[in-house]
Amino acid sequence: MTKKDNPRSPRPKIRLEKRAGKAVVVIAGLHTYGANRLDAIARELKTALGAGGTVKNGTIEIQGDKVEAIKTWFIKQESREK
């Protein structure tokens, strides 16, 4: 029996922003997870990517142009849950 995707499950919206000449990846759309779960996801991403980051206003911000690595990380997490 395989797990079906829940259409109401939040999907991360990943975008790259430039701030003061530096790249920051903003991950939005996961605000329904709650602060503790967002903090845990941010901690895992920072460790996996060797980058700094924070959680602000229901979004995760990771320093550097790491869009592809973050997308890959989310895909691996999704496949691990199935």
pLDDT, tens digit (0-9, with 9 covering 90-100), for 8-44: 678 899 999 999 999 999 999 998 888 999 999 999 9
Q: How many domains does the chain have?
A: 1
Global pTM? 0.86
CATH of the domain at 38: 3.30.780.10
User: How far apart, in whole angstroms, are the C-alpha atoms of residue 42 and residue 60?
Assistant: 6
Average pLDDT for 53-72: 96
Residue 26 lies in a domain: yes
Residue 73 lies in a domain: yes
Residue 2 lies in a domain: no
Phi, psi of 26 (to 5 degrees): -110, 125
